[in-house]
Amino acid sequence: MLKKLSTNTVNWIIMITLAILLVELMFFGGGFLFNTLFLGFLIFLGWKNYHGLIGKVLFWIGIVSLALTVLNMVAIRFLFISLIILFFIQYRRSKNEPEYIKPRFDASIKPETETLTEIKPLLQHRFYGEHKTEDVPYQWRDVNIHGGFGDRIIDLSNTVIQEDAVISIRHFMGSIKIYVPYEMEVSVQHSCMFGHLSIFQSHEMKLFNQSVVFQTDNYTGGKPRVKIVTSIFSGDIEVRRS
C-alpha cells in the first residue's frame, strides 16, 4: 500500500519533520536533553540491577517515560499524523490498484582485482546539491560515492568503456539518473526504503523496503558492460539508453 505513495510526498514529509525537529531542539532542546539524559541514566541503572525488583521498576519507568517524552515532540506528532492521513488515503486508492509481481534475476558477481592504483575519483562525495558527470568527453573511472540530499546524474555516453565498469552510489534522499549507451550490457542492483525504479522504460515499479536485481540478457558474456549498485532511503532511480 505504501508503495503507491509519491516519492516527492514522502521526501517532503521527511524534510518537514527534520525541520520541525531542528527548530524544536534549537528553542526547546534544553529540557528535552536534560530529560533524555536523566531517563537514559535511569534505564542504565535499572538494566544493571535488573535482577532485582527495584532494577526492573527503574528500567521500565525509564523506558515508558522516554517513549512518552519522544512522542510528546511536535516533530514526532507531525510525522505520525501525516502517516495516518496518507495511510487512509492510500487505503482508499488501493482498492482500485492491484499489486504487480515483477521478476527478479540473479546478477553476476564481478571478481575483485588484486592490483590497486590510486587515481582521482570521477565524482566526489557531496552531502547536498546536484551531482553529475561532465558534459564533454572524459576518461572513465569507476564511481563509488555516497551523499545526503539532491540528484545524481551519470552519463556514460560521453566516455569510452572497453570492458567493465562499476557504479556504486549510496544516497539518502533524491533521484539517481544513469544514461547508458545502446551497445553496453547492464546489471542493476538497487535497494530502497521508498521510491520508484525505471529501467529502459520497460521495467517500472514502485519500491518499499525492497532490493531488486535486473540485468540484460547478454550481461554475463557480453562486453562492454556496467554494473550499477545503488542504495537510496527515499528517492527514484532511472536507467536509460542514450
Q: Which of 75, 94, 113 is the last residue of a domain?
A: 94
Q: Are residues 170 and 234 in the same domain?
A: yes
CA dist 67 and 56 (Å) reads: 17
The number of folded domains in the chain is 2
Question: pLDDT digit string (tens) for 92-149?
Answer: 766 565 555 455 545 555 555 555 555 666 665 555 556 566 666 667 778 888 777 7
User: Smallest Cα–Cα separation from 212: which of 237, 234, 181?
Assistant: 237
**Contact, 189 vs 228, CB < 8 A?**
yes
Distance CA 215, CA 212 (A): 10
Q: Which helix (H) or strand (E) holds 73?
A: none
State how far the Cα of 113 lies from the Cα of 189, in Å rounded to an integer: 20
Q: Look at residue 16 and tell me whether its pLDDT is greater than 80.
A: yes
pLDDT in tens, 25-56: 777 766 777 778 888 888 888 888 888 888 88
**CB–CB of 178/229 below 8 Å?**
no
The parent domain of residue 55 ranges over 2-94
Residue 5 confidence class, pLDDT cut points 50, 70, 90: low
Q: How far apart are CA 48 and CA 20, in angstroms?
A: 35
Domain membership of residue 104 (yes or no) is no
Q: List CB contacts of 6: < 8 A, sequence separation 6 or more.
A: none
- Alpha helices by DSSP H, listed for the chain, are 7-48, 53-71, 74-94
Which of residues 65 and 114 earns the better pLDDT score?
65
**Per-residue model confidence as pLDDT tens digits over 176-200:** 888 888 888 889 999 988 888 888 8
pLDDT at residue 1, rounded to an integer: 47
Note whether residue 107 is domain-resident: no
Q: What are the residues whose beta carbons fall under 8 Å from the beta carbon of 29, sequence distance 6 or more?
A: none
Mean pLDDT of 166-182: 87
139 in a structural domain: yes
Q: Is residue 121 part of a domain?
A: no
Residues 6+ apart with CB under 8 A from 67: none
Phi/psi of residue 22, each to 5°?
Answer: -65, -45
What pLDDT does 151 receive? 82
Among 40, 70, 94, identify where a domain stops: 94
Q: Are residues 25 and 69 in the same domain?
A: yes
Does one domain contain both 132 and 90? Answer: no
For residue 101, the model assigns a pLDDT of 45
| Residue 110 is assigned to a structural domain of this protein | no
